[in-house]
Amino acid sequence: GENVEQHPSTLSVQEGDSAVIKCTYSDSASNYFPWYKQELGKRPQLIIDIRSNVGEKKDQRIAVTLNKTAKHFSLHITETQPEDSAVYFCAAKGGAGSYQLTFGKGTKLSVIP
């Protein structure tokens, strides 16, 4: 089955700096890669996703890049703010006929004011 590795497990940045979280996946048939943000005690919520026919996607201060050849994708957060502090999960969904999302183990991001 699919295996998703996520790094780093913890990340501390100064407010205003950029943060980058990286994930690799094992199944070359995977074609959907969402990122979820989970604040303390809350449910995971989708912040951005990318499909395999796209190399990069941006939404204001967040962006995701995908390298299908290397089977890795990354989340970039620019101009970080204290409210960006949370746990971020990457995930991958397999190819046609697959319904399962496989998650990475998460990255705890702390933005220091």
Partner 1 sequence: NAGVTQTPKFQVLKTGQSMTLQCAQDMNHEYMSWYRQDPGMGLRLIHYSVGAGITDQGEVPNGYNVSRSTTEDFPLRLLSAAPSQTSVYFCASSYPGNTEAFFGQGTRLTVV
61 binds partner 1 (CB under 8 A): no
Percent of the chain that is helix, strand, coil (3-state, to 5)? 5, 55, 40
Alpha carbons 54 and 98: distance in angstroms, whole number: 19
Within 8 A by CB and 6+ apart from 61, the residues are 77, 78, 79, 80
Choices 14-22, 39-47, 55-63, 69-77 (CB under 8 A): range interacting with partner 1: 39-47
Q: How far is the CB of 46 from partner 1 (least distance, A)?
A: 5
26 binds partner 1 (CB under 8 A): no
101 binds partner 1 (CB under 8 A): yes
Listed residue (32, 25, 37) closest to 62, CA to CA: 37
110 binds partner 1 (CB under 8 A): no
Q: How far is the CB of 17 from partner 1 (least distance, A)?
A: 25
> Site map for partner 1, 2-21, x if CB under 8 A?
----x--x------------
Select the residue interacting with partner 1 from 39, 51, 61, 79 (CB under 8 A).
51
